[in-house]
Amino acid sequence: MNSLINKESLTDGFAPLKTIACPDSNGHFGIYGGRYVGETLMPAILELEEAYNRITPQEKFKKELNDLLELYTGRPTPLFHAKRLSEHLKGASIYLKREDLAHTGAHKINNTLGQALLAKWMGKKKVIAETGAGQHGVATATAAALFGMECKIFMGTEDIKRQAPNVLRMELLGAQVVPVESGTGTLKDAMNEAMRYWVGAVVDTFYIIGSVAGPHPYPMMVRDFQKIIGIEARKQIMDLAGRLPDLLIACVGGGSNAMGLFFPFIDDPVEMTGVEAAGKGISSGKHAATLGEGSVGVLHGSKSYVLQDKNGQIIEAHSISAGLDYPGVGPEHALFKDIKRANYVSIDDNQALDAFKKLCMLEGIIPALESSHAIAYAMQQAPRMNKDSIIIVNLSGRGDKDLGIVSTIFK
Amino acid sequence: MKTKRIDKTFEELKQKKEKALVGFLSAGDPDLNTSLKIIESMCAAGLDIIELGIPFSDPTADGPVIQRSSARALKKGITIKTVLEMTRKIRTYSDIPIILFSYYNPIHSYGAKAFYNDSVSSGADGVLVVDLPPEESDEMTSKWPGNELALIRLIAPTTPIERMKKIAQESSGFLYLVSKTGVTGSAGLDTQEVTVNSRLLGSITNLPICVGFGISEPEDVRKIAPDVDGIVVGSAFERIIEENLNNPNLDQILGEKVSKLKAATKL
| pLDDT exceeds 60 at position A17 | no
Closest alpha carbon within chain A to B129: A38
For residues B3 and B212, the answer to whether their CB atoms sit within 8 Å is no
- B156 touches A: beta carbon within 8 Å: yes
| pLDDT exceeds 90 at position B2 | no
Q: pLDDT confidence of A20, banded at 50, 70, 90?
A: low
Residue A304 vs residue A6, higher pLDDT = A304
Interchain contact, A42 vs B58, CB within 8 Å: no
Among B255, B251, B2, which Cα is nearest to B124's? B2
| pLDDT exceeds 80 at position A306 | yes
| pLDDT exceeds 50 at position B166 | yes
**For position A69, what pLDDT does the model report?**
98
Interchain contact, B105 vs A43, CB within 8 Å: no
Exposure string of B215-228, with b = 16+ CB inside 10 Å and e = fewer, is: bbebebbbbbbebb
Interchain contact, B133 vs A38, CB within 8 Å: yes
Mean pLDDT (chain A) is 94
Rounded to an integer, what distance in angstroms lies between the CA atom of residue A193 and that of residue A195?
5
Q: Over range B37-57, report the average pLDDT.
A: 98
For position B55, which CATH number holds?
3.20.20.70
**Number of Cβ atoms within 10 Å of the Cβ of A381:** 22
Rounded to an integer, what distance in angstroms lies between the CA atom of residue A299 and that of residue B4?
34
State how far residue B175 is from chain A, nearest Cα, in angstroms: 12
- B76 touches A: beta carbon within 8 Å: no
State how far residue A202 is from chain B, nearest Cα, in angstroms: 8
| pLDDT exceeds 90 at position A411 | no
Q: Over range B13-40, report the average pLDDT.
A: 98
- B101 touches A: beta carbon within 8 Å: no
Among the partner residues B110, B160, B181, nearest to A199 by beta-carbon distance: B181
Interchain contact, B154 vs A38, CB within 8 Å: yes
The helix/strand/coil state of A93 is strand
Residues of A in Cβ contact (< 8 Å) with B175: none
Closest alpha carbon within chain A to B80: A311
**Residues contacting residue B214 through CB under 8 Å, at least 6 positions apart:** B179, B180, B182, B184, B185, B186, B187, B188, B189, B235
| pLDDT exceeds 60 at position A130 | yes
What pLDDT, in 10s, does the model give residues A254-275?
Answer: 999 999 999 999 999 999 999 9
Question: Which entry of A49, A99, A130, A332 is annotated as an active-site residue?
Answer: A130
Q: Provide the domain limits for residue B35.
A: 4-263
CA distances from A206 to A1, A12, A194, B81 (A): 20, 43, 11, 39
Interchain contact, B109 vs A199, CB within 8 Å: no
**For position B168, what pLDDT does the model report?**
95
Least confident segment among A12-16, A404-408, B4-8, B70-74: A12-16
**For position A410, what pLDDT does the model report?**
84
Interchain contact, B181 vs A40, CB within 8 Å: yes
What pLDDT, in 10s, does the model give residues B88-124?
Answer: 999 999 999 999 999 999 999 999 999 999 999 999 9
State how far residue B106 is from chain A, nearest Cα, in angstroms: 4
**For position A3, what pLDDT does the model report?**
37
Q: Over range B158-164, report the average pLDDT.
A: 96
Among B168, B150, B146, which Cα is nearest to B159's? B168
| pLDDT exceeds 60 at position A137 | yes
For residue B160, say if its preceding peptide bond is cis, omega within 30 degrees of 0: no
- pTM for the whole structure: 0.95
Residues of A in Cβ contact (< 8 Å) with B182: 40, 199-200
For residues B222 and B197, the answer to whether their CB atoms sit within 8 Å is no
Interchain contact, B135 vs A306, CB within 8 Å: no
**For position A126, what pLDDT does the model report?**
98
Q: Is the ipTM of this complex over 0.90?
A: yes
Count structural domains, chain B.
1
Amino acid making up residue A147: F
**Residues contacting residue A67 through CB under 8 Å, at least 6 positions apart:** none
**Residue B85 bears catalytic tag:** no
Half-sphere exposure of B43 (CA within 13 A, CB side): 21
Least confident segment among A16-20, A225-229, B37-41: A16-20
| pLDDT exceeds 80 at position A65 | yes
Closest alpha carbon within chain A to B106: A312
**For position A11, what pLDDT does the model report?**
36
Question: Which entry of B51, B118, B220, B251 is annotated as an active-site residue?
Answer: B51
Interchain contact, A192 vs B80, CB within 8 Å: no
Give start and end residues of each alpha helix (H) in chain B: 4-15, 32-44, 64-75, 80-91, 104-110, 112-122, 134-141, 161-169, 191-202, 218-224, 235-243, 250-263
Closest alpha carbon within chain B to A203: B158
Interchain contact, B163 vs A312, CB within 8 Å: no
Q: What is the count of residue pairs from A and B with beta carbons less than 8 Å apart?
A: 115
DSSP string, A104-121: GGBTHHHHHHHHHHHHHH
| Orientation angle between helical segments A164-172 and A403-410, nearest 10 degrees | 160
**Residue B227 bears catalytic tag:** no
Rounded to an integer, what distance in angstroms lies between the CA atom of residue B196 and that of residue B171?
21
Exposure string of A120-154, with b = 16+ CB inside 10 Å and e = fewer, is: bbeebebbbbbbbbbbbbbbbbbbbbbbebebbbb
Interface of A with B (CB under 8 A): 26, 34-44, 182-183, 188, 192, 195-196, 199-203, 296-301, 306, 308, 310-314
Q: Over range A239-243, report the average pLDDT.
A: 98
**For position A7, what pLDDT does the model report?**
35
Least confident segment among A82-86, A191-195, B164-168, B169-173: B169-173
Q: pLDDT confidence of A8, banded at 50, 70, 90?
A: very low
Exposure string of B158-170, with b = 16+ CB inside 10 Å and e = fewer, is: bbeeebbeebbee
Q: Over range B203-214, report the average pLDDT.
A: 96
What pLDDT, in 10s, does the model give residues A357-402?
Answer: 999 999 999 999 999 999 999 999 999 999 999 999 999 999 999 9
CA distances from B124 to B37, B92, B121, B171, B173 (A): 18, 12, 8, 17, 12
Query: What percentage of chain A has pLDDT greater than the value 90?
Result: 92
User: Cα angle vertex A394, ends A392, A398, to 5°?
Assistant: 140
Q: pLDDT confidence of B1, banded at 50, 70, 90?
A: low
